[in-house]
Every structure is written in C-alpha cells, then in structure tokens.
Structure 1
Amino acid sequence: MVTSPVPVILQVSKCFVKPSSCSNPAVNLCHLTPWDVAMLSTHYIQKGLLFPNRPSTLSIESIIDRLKSSLSVALCYFYPLAGRLKTERVLDDNNKVRSLRVLIDCKSQGAEFIHAVARDVTVVDVLAPLEDVPSFVRSLFPFNGAISHDGHSLPLLAIQLTELSDGLFVACCFNHVVGDGISYWHFLNAWAEIARAKECGFTISRPPVHDRWFVEGESPPINLPYSDPEEYIERHSPPPLREKFFHFPSLSIAQLKAKANMECDTDTISSFQALCSLVWRSITRARGLLANQKTSCRLAIQGRARLRPPLSPNYFGNSIYAVAATTTAGELMAHGLGWAALLVHQSVKSHTDNTIRELVKKYHEEPFVYPLSGFDKYSVMMGSSPRFDMYECDFGWGRAAAVRSGTSNKFDGKVSSYPGWEGGGSVDLEICLLPEHMALLEADEEFMAAVSP
C-alpha cells in the first residue's frame, strides 16, 4: 500500500490577544467548584470548524484582524479565559505543605492566536469521507497533549486559524478547568456573533453567568490533599487508535428510538439513549468480551437543569458528571436494544438534584483529580452532545461544513457525539477504538444498518 505524504502545516505567526478596554467585572481571582478542580489532569477541550466558503472579497489579513478584534471583545465577557491558573500552598503548624488550592488568576494575561498555512490540504482532505480521520488533522490544533494543569503557564485559551487551499479551519483549545462542552460552545458562538456584527458597542445575546455554584454549607476554595502537583498530574497516552466518523440520519435515529421503546413497552427512552445502546452493544460485540465481564455505558451529562433551583443555561464553568449503566457482556448480548437502552435511561434519570448535591458534598470531604488512565477498557464513554449548537457558529463566512477534534481526551472506547450537518435530529459519532475492534465494528450488521452510506 502506498502511503500519502503527510501535508506540511506551517505556523506563520503567533501573538496574544487581551480583553479590549470594555468594562468587565473587577475580579482578580476566580474560585473553582469540585466540577472544575476535578478536571486538572484532563486535556484541554479541542474542537474545530471547517469552513469551505471563505469569501473571495476578503483578504486573509482582514479575516485575521476581524477575528482578533472580536476575540478581544469576547474576552471581556468570558474574562477567565484570558487568565492563568494559580496554585496556593496551605501550610500546617510545622510549616509543611498540607494541601493545595487551585484558582484562576484573572489578570488578563491574554489568549493565544496562531495563524497557520496548509497549502496542500483541501476541504475534502479534512472531511475524508468513508475513511478514518487523517492524522494531519491533529496539527490543525494547538496544545496537543497539554493537560489543564498546564494552564499555570500556558494560556487557558488558544485559537489556531489555518488557511487551507480552498477553505479555512478554526480550531479552539479551551482549558477544561474553566468550563465544559456547554461553556465551550457558548463562548465560541458568542465570539462568532461578535465577529459578524457590523455595529460598534455590540452586546452579545447570551452573556455568561460567572457566579460559581457551591453546595450549601461549603465555602471555596477546595483544598486538594496533596503537597505537590506532581502527586495528581498524569499525562496519559493511549495506544494507537483508529478514529472514524459515522453518520446516523434522522430516520435511523427515529427507528432506533421506536424499537427501543417498543421492546420495553414504554415511551420514555430518548433518541440519544437508544443510539447509546446501539453503540454500547456493537462495541462490546466487536471486542468479543467474556460473558461474565462487566461493562458500562458512561454518559457525560450536565447538571445545570437538574439542580433545584436550576443553574442558568448561561452558567460559565463545569457542571458535568459521567453516569453509568452497568451489566455483564453476556447479559448485554442476551437482551435486545431496548433492554440496554432502558439501563441507560435509568442511569440518566437517577441523576437528580439530590444525587448531585450528595456527590458535591462527598467531593468536599475527599477531593480528587480525575485520571484519564482510569477509564475502564471494557466500557464505552459517550462525550460531547448532539445538542450543542455547533453549526450556527458563523464568523461571517457562512455555515461550517464539519466539526473535527484534536487529540485530547481520547482513549479506546471514547465516543464523541455531534449534531449531523443537515440537522433534523441526525447525529455524527466520532468513535475511537483499537484497530482490530474498529474493523469488526465496521462489519457489524446491526450497527452498520443504522449508519448512512
């Protein structure tokens, strides 16, 4: 087999963008919640948008100037992204380090903006229809391999604009301590809204809410039970994986939902829960697990609307947990789609206000940092969400053609979900698996019957 040469992606320039002179809250330090602190060893969030419709009337210089100026305004609203992490050491009576406190220093050091060029890369090269995600896509993103703790020295936000031969790719690298996927897309859409606005003094339609939420009776900051950051820092590198996108049209999703509810004689199973069930069963089958092997389908779900009273949908920070439906591989294979979907549904339904408050209370008693290496290799992790507003993120050049991700937070069994480009309830799944298991998934009849050709 002839291997195509890896395209060259050259960095042209790099600079820092600071908040503009617009007024913002006089906040010096931002305290963190358990949801934030627990993310210190996870990678930065890396997502990017592929634009095939670069206006011929605009020079690259004018595009870059507009992106930088609008980013400067956006950072006034989302001011933690212009800061850096800061660790304070708490001493005991013997002047020894007893614990560590991590905060965001909001002194507006700035976000990084990179301009790169990939003259030999086309939009179709990035899309790679019916193929694995090309390895060069990772070079379209900054900070590959960086974990959130690196935000002590690295910017908490980095943007890379890459010129392709026939389009543009805008990549955003966003520290996970600062926020989750909802916060990520909230920021990106607000920045795009500012970029395409024509009048000065523009006010965004959804200003972020920065008031951090804490469990009743507890006060920030959180004391991590370590004397040195090296005790919790982990730089996880997964084995070689295949990464591939699968498209599920709205008709397939509707059929999965109908089948799952019919098999369980209910109408409570959602479209996404039915899709998760299909993925869980299919990957478990591809892995050929022993019948008594425990396996879980984990879903990263947000808590904003589940709390009572609910958090604002514009809450800027983290508010996620991974809930799990668990059984044995034998039981999962012996039952149908609906049985598995009902397990997933029950795990989501049980994540109530009381559950969240108990988890937060327990965290204050025993703080920890999530290790990426701790993920169960027999399970599936569903991340991101088809509900995120990705394709309305318009910088003034029209709609994106695709969403792609970098190397961050990927491991065997990680599945990231995105809205399908055509909308209507369609879903794209980016699946990461060991090569031998991906080959079997591609041959799985039940799974591929739901995938659009």
Structure 2
Amino acid sequence: MTKFNKSLPNHCSIFYKASSPSMIHAQNRTRSMEMEKKVSMDGKRVVSVLRKSLVKPDKETPKQTIWLSNIDLVSAFMSFTPIIYVYRYPQQSNLSPGEFFPIEGIKASLAKTLSVFSIYAGRLDSDETGRPEIKCTGEGTEFIEAACDLSIEEFGELIPSQELEDLLVPKNTSQQLPYMLVRYQVTRFKCGGVIIGLLAHHTTGDGMNSIRYFNAWADVHRGVVDVAKIPPPVLDRTGLRARSPPLVEYDHSEYQMPVKTLAPSNGNSMISPTISKTLRLSKDNIEKLKSKASGENLAATTFTAVVAHSWKCITKARKLSPEQTTRLLIGCDSKAIVNPPLSPLLNANAIVHLSSTMTVKEMVSCDLNRVATKIEEAKSFAHDKYVRSVVDFLDVRDGTRGVPPVQPTEVLAISWMRLPMYEADFGWGKPEFMGRAGIPYPGRLYLGKRTGDDGIWVTTTLEESDMGEFMKLFYSEFDYEVNGVMPETANGVVLHKANGIAPQKVIGETNGVIIREMISNV
C-alpha cells in the first residue's frame, strides 16, 4: 500500500486550523487584529486588511468524506488557483458606498450558498495511510475585508503577477493538513469599485466547478434563485477510479517526471524572471488565423487556430536550437467523453492532458495549417479509452507526485472560452473582468472570451526576455510592421499599418515594446 506524506509543498498553505464548533454563523464573530497592510514593491499600491472572519453554512450540512481520484491527486500539487472578479461602482446610481456590495449581506448570501456547496466549507485532510481526501466538515471559509486608497484605474493594469496576487487574493501560510480549501478577499477601492479575490484549492474541482459555485453565490445574493432549488454538486468521484488490474495502453509522457529539468531556452544556467501579458484578438483577427490554419482536410476552430499561432510565435521567440523538440500540452475535460459519461454537476478534476510535438526546425519553417493539423491529431485522443489509460497510468506511477512542470520547450494551452466567466451578477451588473491573479510558471497559455464583442483574449506567461519578441511575432500576422521608435521608451518599437499611420490605441506593452491597433480594426 502506498504511503502518503502528510506534509505538502510550501505553496499549499493556510491561516487557520479547525475552528471552534461554537462558531455557527460567519457574521457572529470577527477576529480582532492589528491593521495589516499589503504593499507593492514600489510602495505605491497599498491594500489595508480591515477584518478577517469565518463564514460557515447557514444550516447544518451532511458530514462526509470525499475520495479523491488520481487526477485529483495530480491537481493537489497544482495547489491553489488565485482568481479575481472586478466590479465597477455604478456611477449613474443613487447608491451609497455601503449599499454597493454590503459586507454583512455578502457574507449572509455566502453562508446560504455554502449550505448547498458544502465541499467549499470543508477541509483537505488525509486518511490513515496519508492519502489526501476532502472532509465536508462545515467548518467554513475565510472572509477578508480590505480597502485601497486608490481607484481601480490608479491601481493599474490587472495583468497576472505575483504582486497582484499578493495584494488582492488571500494568502496561505501552513504546510500541514488539515486546512481550508477556499478563502475570499473583498477589496473596496476609492472609486467605490470592488474586487473579489478568490483562492480555491484545485482538489475542490476544476474551473467550471468554481465558476458555477461563484455564480450561484451571486444569484443567491441577487435574490433570483431559491437556495432550496439549486441542484447540489455531485461529490462521488469513483467514476474516475483506476481499473483493477490497471491497463496502460498509451505512452503518457505528459505525466512522466523528467530526469532533470531542461536547460532554459536562452541557454543560460539560470531561468530568467517571468512576466504575464494579455493580448486581444478581434473577430477579424480570429477569422484570418482560422483561414490560414485551415486546409483541404481541416476546418480549424478558433482554439486550434489561435493556439497554433501562439505556439509557433512562442517557439520562435524562445530562440530554441533547430534540433530541439517543442511540445504542446492541451487540457481536455473528460467528463462528457468517458463511458458512461460523468455528471456535468460533478465537482471533481477531470482534465487530462493531450500533447503534440514538433521539431523546432519544422515548427519555424512550416505554415500554420501544418501546426493546426498536429493539434487536431492530439485532440483525436479525447476518448474514453485514452482517459482510462491516463487514470491507470497515474495509479501505477503513483499519482501523488503531481504533474511535471511545463518545460522551457513546452506550452500548456487551457481554454476558458466556454466557461460562463462573466455571469456573476450580485445585483449591480456583471463583472468587468474575471481572470487569474497570478500564473506562477512560464509556458502557460489561457484563452477566454471578451465581453461585449466576438473577440477573445490570450493570456500567457513567458520568460521576460522572450515576451517582447513574442508580442511582435504574435501581432505581425495582422498587417502591422515595425515603423519607428517611440520617444518615450528606451528601446520601444511602434507597429503601424503597412499602408500608413492611422488612428491607434495601445493594445499591449512589455519590455518597452508598444503594440498599437488601428481604431478602424477595433
């Protein structure tokens, strides 16, 4: 029998251990504390923590233990996911600041929602062998009230970074089980706007699970749903149990730990600092990529076309040697493709990785259709037989060791385009923005829908030395060319329309490189 280590990596952490049974309702007890301040590196952004409290379900919930699958155990080492929701203060209203996201009301609606989604009020613990499991104890979640003396505009761009996560999302400090699975920070800004930071441990489920829960909280607060009629999440994950005996039918190199981490792409012995950027594509941009990615036997989807273009640009920007191999990893939700299908209400991790590889020489020289075809070949493995083989492989390999880190020659692509990301309306409108507050490792690529149009955004994290070149390559497909130096930047490059300068707006910037888009194309 496999023995599990009860200690977890440093990034798996918490503020509290189990709370007193007498703590029944969130709003009935607030922990007294000295004023805590979160300060940015330059000292210009300060978030003051006003109060910390514990929100519990507003009624008794079933006490049960949730068995975790091998895919869950891989996700356990992905630790926490930091998310932010941005809500602008409605300027044309008669609301007083206290009536916009009133703290006690928000906590009360959260307590009601937790009575249905009790998994989020539980604790990650372990069984007698040390194997991680979730215990639905009803002990509650941390709720932090915070304030910032800046407006949201003055606070600056909300691009994923460790600093943004530190300022707007709760932290974890403990390395020992049991610990809290979810926590929140509600930060009110000088302009009246609010940013809700959410930190959820990945063992609670995937992105769709977290969004469904958050959206339900918003609906409960808005009063448009009867709590008693909310379909509860399905917590039984045994549909993803390994077979006995296990049957591994594929080479699951995506889950095999490398003997050693590959050297950084620039050849240095030290990995350079990372940076994240969000790039925007209009509907016309997307259609152009889809046209170039399609061919006789392939009608490329938005995901395939944009990921193919991004993978190609990242590979070029990294300046890898021609004989190296670059690999794309794709996250695939297996709930609907296994047989029998899993419930869409299942709170669990069911994402498996598919992959495609190319030599760098082929990647940089081939057309986009060739790259897209390789991606479609990888997607063809999205079926029950492959998923079952993954689960069995993790059982043989020992799923507690986590998933290998994305290597300097790899890209991990994750689609959020079908997630209902912008539906959480607490009563004053939908969020202006929802996304990750931090992306800790380079090589990750997230795709999501833009609000208000048919475009998408692409957020990626790369080594800082590669980002500027990547952005130039990324936008070079859309009739832009290098056309001069911005006087306000030391090494800036302006990308203009090939047929002359037109009215522009800045759509991206990094390392002194300014990317401008023609107003006529917006």
Instruction: Return the TM-score normalized by structure 2.
Output: 0.73
CA offset at residue 18 of structure 1? 0.7
Give the secondary structure class of the aligned counterpart of 1:444: helix
Q: What corresponds to 2:258 in structure 1?
A: none
Q: What corresponds to 2:472 in structure 1?
A: 443
Q: What corresponds to 2:219 in structure 1?
A: 193
CA offset at residue 198 of structure 1? 5.6
Identify if the C-alpha distance between structure 1 residues 445 and 269 changes in structure 2 by more than 3 Å, giving closer, same or farther. Answer: closer
Residue identity opposite 2:109 in structure 1 = S
Q: What corresponds to 1:53 in structure 2?
A: 89
Q: What corresponds to 2:74 in structure 1?
A: 38
Contact 1:141–1:173 (Cα < 8 Å) also in 2: no
Q: Does 1:165 align with 2:190?
A: yes
- List per-residue Cα deviations over 1:150-180 (Å, max 9, x = no partner): 5834310011111112211011111101111
Distance 2:225 2:371 in 1: 52
Give the secondary structure class of the aligned counterpart of 2:369: helix
Structure 1's consecutive aligned runs of 4 or more residues displaced over 4 angstroms after TM superposition are 132-136, 143-146, 198-202, 216-219, 370-373, 445-448
Contact 2:125–2:179 (Cα < 8 Å) also in 1: no
Residue identity opposite 1:203 in structure 2 = K
Distance 1:152 1:200 in 2: 35
5+ long unaligned stretches in structure 2: 1-40, 246-269, 480-506, 508-515, 518-522
What is the root-mean-square deviation in Å for CA atoms of aligned residues?
A: 2.7
Residue identity opposite 1:41 in structure 2 = F
Q: What corresponds to 1:108 in structure 2?
A: 138
CA offset at residue 217 of structure 1? 4.7
CA offset at residue 136 of structure 1? 4.5
Contact 1:183–1:318 (Cα < 8 Å) also in 2: no
Q: What corresponds to 1:69 in structure 2?
A: 108
Distance 2:403 2:244 in 1: 27
Contact 2:55–2:142 (Cα < 8 Å) also in 1: yes
Q: What corresponds to 2:120 in structure 1?
A: 81
- List per-residue Cα deviations over 1:123-164 (Å, max 9, x = no partner): 464446xxx657652234334577xx9583431001111111
In the TM superposition, 1:355-370 aligns within 5 A as 355-369=386-400
Distance 1:63 1:17 in 2: 15
Distance 2:308 2:302 in 1: 10
Residue identity opposite 1:436 in structure 2 = S
CA offset at residue 414 of structure 1? 1.4
- List per-residue Cα deviations over 1:41-99 (Å, max 9, x = no partner): 21301111111135652543762122211111211222111111112343xxxxxxxxx
Q: Does 1:184 align with 2:210?
A: yes
Q: Which has the higher contact order (CA 8 A, sep 6+)?
A: 1
Q: Which stretch of the first structure deviates more once superposed, 372-381 or 78-87?
A: 372-381
Give the secondary structure class of the aligned counterpart of 2:180: coil
Identity of aligned residues (%): 23
Q: What corresponds to 1:155 in structure 2?
A: 180
In the TM superposition, 1:383-398 aligns within 5 A as 383-398=414-429
Identify if the C-alpha distance between structure 1 residues 56 and 15 changes in structure 2 by more than 3 Å, giving closer, same or farther. Answer: farther
Q: Which stretch of the first structure deviates more once superposed, 174-183 or 382-391?
A: 382-391
Contact 1:194–1:202 (Cα < 8 Å) also in 2: no
CA offset at residue 296 of structure 1? 1.0
Distance 1:365 1:373 in 2: 16
CA offset at residue 122 of structure 1? 1.9
Give the secondary structure class of the aligned counterpart of 1:351: coil
Q: What corresponds to 1:320 in structure 2?
A: 351
- List per-residue Cα deviations over 1:252-280 (Å, max 9, x = no partner): 1122112211xx31344311011000000
Say which of 392, 404, 408 aligns to 1:377: 408
Contact 1:294–1:326 (Cα < 8 Å) also in 2: yes
Residue identity opposite 2:346 in structure 1 = Y
Residue identity opposite 2:133 in structure 1 = L
Q: What corresponds to 1:250 in structure 2?
A: 283
In the TM superposition, 1:297-308 aligns within 5 A as 297-308=328-339
Residue identity opposite 2:348 in structure 1 = G
Contact 2:84–2:434 (Cα < 8 Å) also in 1: yes
Distance 1:44 1:134 in 2: 15
Say which of 373, 381, 404 aligns to 2:435: 404
Residue identity opposite 1:154 in structure 2 = Y
Distance 2:452 2:326 in 1: 33
- List per-residue Cα deviations over 1:387-446 (Å, max 9, x = no partner): 1111111111202111232235x211112222112243x211111111110011122265
Give the secondary structure class of the aligned counterpart of 2:185: strand
Distance 2:171 2:307 in 1: 28
Give the secondary structure class of the aligned counterpart of 2:127: strand
Contact 2:276–2:462 (Cα < 8 Å) also in 1: yes
Contact 1:383–1:416 (Cα < 8 Å) also in 2: yes
5+ long unaligned stretches in structure 1: 91-99, 220-236
Give the secondary structure class of the aligned counterpart of 1:369: helix
| Alignment coverage as a number of residue pairs | 413
